[in-house]
């Protein structure tokens, strides 16, 4: 499977992220946190990672996701660069895909 | 329960984390005969499999105890006619469910039905990238064609695709071909798992274990392929499980005894790992006790938790938090006492057994036909005695 070169395809505000097929994001009571489940594996997410991934619905672009998060966490400063940085990490891990 | 007893229970539970993984070995029945199968040698003695209702209850209890990942394996889980029902139950409970199959008994219709029922992932195992070698190792003439067809069906249905190859001295030269085959099939993950020597693989170790030169060449080829895939921006991931027989320190087996994994065997025996059955320890059965009790309270699961059970050299070793003294099954198989340090460790007084196995691998001549195949009639020999 060949996707675009990771070095030249970084996340921008107009991208629409969605979870890669086979990746399931959910709340796990036993872990008291959000997790990402994938074939034979699981990542436990910290609170901010969980909050960002919870907004991915395959419809909204990064800019909209940032706006939702900024409204939900008004005490935080501008979130755009943090969100993009995390989504870039998620993309490099092949957790999410962009369109 | 007295207040003291219940507060002790709570304390114990606090130090033991919940299981993350439930492996449901639905059956030991399988149409293939892989000579490295990890099932117990005497598997044919198991006749009383859990019923559909019993499995459904095990799944419920596992989820309540905290498990998020569920594996359906065996044997060949497709032999069970109730697999679809159990998949639906697993989805309903919120598991991420993995079907670990040889591909035999699978059809395109089942692949689609299971997706509908909520199965998350299907792992198809291959014996080789070459049809003849594949079929010789599997002990079945039609295995390879069926596996190819099913790998394609899995891909077409949109599942993430994990292909698994058990690697041994007869196919370890095929790394490049295997990777190329997986790329053609569009795999997301490729597991190149060198044999772990338990069950049938221990019995056949001399005929399976690669030489050091074979291993080094394979490692080099895997690394080359990895670098190329990264360069091409491919999401296909190669997972190479190297044989611990060539290490000087043991693996942290199962991430620690009773720390993440819970296996339920076809007859309901609950185990901290799928090969632990060979240990001279009494393990609980889900027909007698609920899973929460089994995980936190049973002597079998508590047997090797922590490190107060360790003899020397592990007891005074500063690496014991890292590897937990290695694998209990390997210690038992190679030294006769499961408490001992895993002989893979160069500090183990039994490390010479590993060195002898490496030596034997340098001059092994056995062909595939010389291996003991995993089938009912060979299995019966192991309990008739
Ligand atoms: S390893 Fe081979 S023989 Fe054993 S259960 Fe799997 S497919 Fe069947
Ligand atoms: S002596 Fe025991 S604890 Fe120390 S490295 Fe060896 S196996 Fe691990």
Ligand 2 mean position, distance from CA B213 (Å) = 26
What integer pLDDT is reported at residue B384 of this predicted model?
61
Residue B34 annotated in ligand binding: yes
Could you give the residue ranges of the DSSP H alpha helices within B2-82? Answer: 3-15, 52-65
What integer pLDDT is reported at residue B79 of this predicted model?
94
Domain range annotation of chain A: 8-98
Q: Find the residue in A nearest to B18 (Cα).
A: A30
Radius of gyration of chain A from its Cα atoms, rounded to whole angstroms: 13
User: Does ligand 1 come within 6 angstroms of the Cβ of B39?
Assistant: yes
Nearest-ligand number for the alpha carbon of B379: 1
Residue position matching structure tokens 């199962």:
B254
What integer pLDDT is reported at residue B58 of this predicted model?
98
Read off the pLDDT band of A3 (50, 70, 90). Answer: very low
Continuous segment of H or E residues that includes residue A69: helix A62-72
Q: Which residues line ligand 2 (CB under 6 A)?
A: B 249-250, 313-314, 317, 319-320, 323, 325-326, 341-342, 345, 347
**Of A7-16, B100-109, B178-187, B267-276, minimum mean pLDDT range:** A7-16
Q: Find the residue in B nearest to A8 (Cα).
A: B233
Question: Is there a cis peptide before residue B313, judged by omega within 30 degrees of 0?
Answer: yes
Question: Is there a cis peptide before residue B186, judged by omega within 30 degrees of 0?
Answer: no
pLDDT digits (tens, 9 = 90+) for B32-62: 888 888 888 888 888 799 999 999 999 999 9
Q: Whose CA is nearest to atom 3 of ligand 2?
A: B320
Of the partner residues A7, A9, A22, the one whose CB lies closest to the CB of residue B160: A22
pLDDT at residue B364 tops 50: yes
- CATH level 2 (architecture), domain A8-98: Orthogonal Bundle (1.10)
Provide the Cα torsion B284, B287, B288, B292; round to 10°. Answer: 70
CB B38 within 8 A of CB B259: no
> Coil, strand or helix: which one is A28?
strand
pLDDT at residue B21 tops 70: yes
Chain A CB contacts of B73 below 8 Å: none
């Amino acid at each position: 499977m060949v996707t675009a070169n990771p070095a030249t395809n970084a996340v921008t505000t107009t991208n629409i992220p969605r979870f890669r097929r086979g990746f399931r994001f959910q709340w796990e009571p036993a872990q008291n946190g959000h997790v990402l489940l994938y074939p034979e594996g699981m990542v436990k997410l910290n609170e901010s990672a969980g909050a960002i991934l919870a907004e991915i619905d395959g419809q909204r672009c990064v800019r909209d996701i940032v706006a939702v998060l900024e409204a939900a966490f008004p005490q935080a400063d501008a979130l755009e660069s943090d969100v993009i940085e995390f989504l870039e990490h998620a993309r490099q891990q092949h957790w999410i895909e962009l369109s | 329960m007295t207040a003291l007893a219940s507060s002790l229970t709570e304390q114990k539970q606090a130090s033991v984390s919940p299981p993350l993984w439930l492996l449901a070995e639905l059956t030991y029945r399988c149409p293939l005969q892989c000579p490295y199968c990890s099932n117990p040698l005497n598997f044919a003695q198991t006749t009383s499999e859990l019923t559909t209702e019993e499995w459904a209850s095990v799944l419920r209890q596992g989820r309540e105890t905290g498990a998020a990942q569920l594996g359906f394996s065996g044997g060949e889980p497709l032999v069970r006619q109730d697999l679809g029902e159990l998949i639906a139950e697993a989805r309903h409970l919120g598991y991420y469910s993995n079907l670990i199959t040889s591909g035999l008994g699978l059809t395109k219709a089942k692949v689609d039905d299971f997706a509908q029922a909520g199965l998350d992932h299907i792992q198809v195992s291959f014996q080789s990238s070459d049809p003849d070698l594949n079929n010789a190792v599997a002990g079945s003439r039609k295995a390879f064609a069926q596996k190819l067809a099913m790998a394609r069906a899995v891909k077409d249905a949109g599942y993430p695709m994990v292909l698994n190859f058990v690697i041994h001295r007869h196919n370890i030269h095929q790394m490049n071909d295997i990777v190329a085959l997986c790329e053609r099939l569009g795999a997301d993950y490729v597991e190149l798992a060198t044999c772990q020597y338990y069950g049938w693989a221990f019995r056949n170790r001399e005929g399976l274990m690669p030489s050091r030169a074979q291993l080094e060449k394979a490692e080099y080829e895997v690394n080359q392929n990895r670098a190329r895939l990264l360069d091409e921006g491919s999401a296909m991931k190669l997972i190479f499980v190297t044989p611990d027989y060539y290490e000087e320190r043991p693996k942290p087996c199962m991430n620690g005894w009773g720390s993440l994994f819970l296996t339920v065997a076809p007859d309901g025996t609950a185990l901290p790992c799928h090969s632990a059955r060979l240990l001279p320890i009494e393990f609980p059965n889900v027909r007698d006790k609920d899973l929460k009790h089994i995980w936190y309270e049973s002597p079998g699961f508590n047997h090797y938790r922590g490190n107060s059970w360790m003899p020397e050299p592990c007891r005074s070793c500063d690496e014991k938090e890292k590897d937990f003294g290695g694998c209990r099954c390997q210690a038992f198989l190679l030294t006769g006492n499961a408490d001992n340090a895993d002989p893979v460790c160069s500090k183990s007084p039994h490390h010479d057994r590993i060195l002898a196995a490496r030596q034997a691998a340098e001059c092994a001549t056995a062909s595939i036909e010389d291996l003991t195949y995993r089938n009912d009639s060979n299995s019966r020999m192991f309990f008739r005695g």
